[in-house]
Amino acid sequence: MSKSFYITTPIYYPSGNFHIGHCYTTIIADAIARYKRLKGYDVYFQTGTDEHGQKIENKAKEAGITPKEYVDHIVSDTIHLWDTLHISYDKFFRTTDKIHVEAVQKIFTKLYEQGDIYKGEYKGLYCTPCESFWTPIQLVDGKCPDCNREVHEVSEEAYFLKLSKYQDRLVEYIESHPNFIQPESRKNEMIHNFIQPGLQDLCVSRTSFRWGIPVPFDEKHVVYVWVDALTNYITSLGYMGEDDSSFQKYWPADLQLVGKEIVRFHTIIWPIILMALGLELPKQVFGHGWLVINGEKISKSLGNYKDPREYIEKYGVDAVRYYVLREVSFGSDGAFSEEALITRTNADLANNLGNLVNRTLSMVHKYFDGKITNPNASEEIDVELTSMICNLSSIVDDKMESLHVNEAIEAIFEVLRRANKYIDETMPWVLAKDETKKDRLETVLYHLLESIRVSAVLLEAFMPDTSKEILRQLQIDDKSLSYQDTLCYQVGSPSPIFERIDKD
Ligand code: MSP
């Protein structure tokens, strides 16, 4: 039986248009999920939408429709965007799904009955757009430290989750599980800035609005949206539901990807809820950086973005996927610019990859009518390329295991660059003029086909359409990830994979 791998993205607020920053987490999660499938894992990749809360209630009121009508429209648009980007999610989960609502109510009741949730009164500073409470010292210039907007005083009867009770256990867990919070810098930030100063019990219900999951034993309260949202990672698997076989199979999650501003929810509130429920914690929460434009986070509130579909329509899905995966060192912030997207597409995809496939297939047709095997007339000069092909899969594996996704993709393009250089060094058009060099010419072209084949198989994780198209042109079914000596190629006609983009 294959090993399982459960990977999640945050569930998105359907509160307006999506931007390329949202696509970032999802494209990376997709590349990791596809890669794990390629390696034979039984992958469960989950994404979805976080549909409750005051922000949504307010937006729906402004639009003169019900909150459910409001989110339904955006959710179908989101699913369409993910499908356009070829996101291979196994489950798209909505927090308005009945299965989730009922399970959250059971979780809340269980925690209340066992004394981890209790009733009290809340007085505090609340940021509505971020659905977050802050203490006065956490504010920056009197405003929300995340979005720089006004916070307001809230005072209400409320239920509280005993975070304080679990503080020591949480610190001990984080320290004894070095992979739990990654990268390292985020772990230090959580411990020193948030946990060690002292965890206060968390207000986990609201009475000031209605669009949420009602507390089942006290219906004027709705469940705090972060408790509602975080539990999606287990309710979607059937936890507390009629059929929890997926939960038994996939929990604990192997990897939970989240943006850096929500690491604290995922590494403090979420593990404490799980501890209180007596469940295992996810194996890893990885907090990635932001895509920024001119140094600022791409965000709905700043409005500094275009609809990602514009880029997809103009440059193609795989150009957008490639750019996002390749440009940013995962974990750090990375600049997004349309100009850099065009530069990368031209240099890496049209020149390096596209030309290599086109030149090689054209030569295979011209000199061997498309049919090639390996006569093994190898020379010293071949060793560097063939050993790079042989090592590629293990390099990509190391990089993907440590989530250096941009370096994994870079390793593939290094092989492609080396293959292009190999054409210039071996000069097949010169070999073709000499009848006695026929075997040598065939060997050279065979090595080139192998470099393209292995790269194309690996590219399935990053650029699925491109991978499929290259393998279609090669007309080869062999998906092995290592250099093969004895394949019989009968390649199809070459057609351009990426057109150069004219910047003007
Ligand atoms: N609903 C919560 C998540 C709940 S998970 C239990 C939420 N939603 S969100 O729609 O605001 O953000 C979803 C994800 O997109 C977050 O991980 C966030 O960090 C990410 N991004 C939003 N803007 C981003 C960039 N500019 N760059 C990279 N990721 C960004 O938070």
Which pLDDT score is estimated for 186? 92
Q: Determine whether the shortest distance from the Cβ of 258 to ligand 1 is under 6 A.
A: yes
Lowest-confidence segment of 108-112, 148-152, 385-389 by average pLDDT: 148-152
Q: Terminus-to-terminus CA distance in the chain, angstroms?
A: 54
- Determine contact, residues 51/71, Cβ cutoff 8 Å: yes
Threshold 0.85, pTM exceeds: yes
Mutate to test the pocket of ligand 1, among 7, 13, 22 (most ligand atoms within 8 A of CB): 22
> 286 alpha carbon to ligand 1 midpoint, in Å?
13
55 pocket-lining for ligand 1 (C-beta < 6 Å): no
Residue-wise pLDDT tens digits, 287-299: 999 999 888 888 7
Contact 202, 269 (CB under 8 A): yes
pLDDT in the model for residue 320: 96
Per-residue pLDDT reduced to its tens digit, 225-283:
999 999 999 999 999 999 999 999 999 999 999 999 999 999 999 999 999 999 999 99
Dihedral sign from CA coordinates of 163, 165, 170, 173:
negative
Residue 378: pLDDT above 90?
yes
Tell me the two tokens of residue 435.
């009848």
| Whether pLDDT at 302 is above 90 | no
- What is the Å distance from ligand 1's center to 300 Cα? 11
Residue 293: CA atoms inside 13 Å, Cβ hemisphere, count?
15
The CB-side HSE value for 195 (13 A sphere, CA atoms) comes to 27
> Does residue 133 register a pLDDT over 90?
no
- The protein residue whose alpha carbon is closest to atom 17 in ligand 1 is 259
What are the angstrom distances between the C-alpha of 282 and each of 48, 234, 240, 265, 275?
A: 18, 11, 18, 13, 11
- Band of the pLDDT at 407, cuts 50, 70, 90? very high
Q: Is the pLDDT of residue 504 over 80?
A: no
Picking from 247, 224, 225, 245, the residue whose alpha carbon sits closest to that of residue 235 is 247
Which pLDDT tens digit goes with each residue over 55-68?
Answer: 999 999 999 999 99
- Ligand 1: which atom is nearest the Cα of residue 13? 10
Q: Provide CB contacts within 8 A for 371, sequence distance 6+.
A: 364, 488, 489, 490, 491
3-state secondary structure of 329: coil
> Which residue is it, tokens 């050279």?
444
Residue 375 and residue 442 in contact, taking contact as beta carbons nearer than 8 Å: yes
Atom 24 in ligand 1: which residue has the minimum CA distance? 21
Ligand 1 pocket, 94 CB below 6 A? no
Single-letter amino acid, residue 101: V
Q: Per-residue confidence at 307, pLDDT binned at 50, 70, 90? A: confident
Largest CA distance in the chain: 91
Q: Which residues pair with 122 in a beta bridge?
A: 156
Report whether pLDDT(301) > 80. Answer: no
Given ligand 1 and candidates 8, 11, 12, 230, which is best to mutate, with the most ligand atoms within 8 Å of its CB? Answer: 12
Is the pLDDT reported for residue 306 higher than 80? no
Ligand 1 centroid to residue 264 C-alpha, Å: 13
> Do 151 and 144 form a contact (C-beta atoms < 8 A)?
yes
Q: How confident is residue 15, by pLDDT bands cut at 50, 70 and 90?
A: confident
Give the Å distance between the CA of 15 and the centre of ligand 1: 12
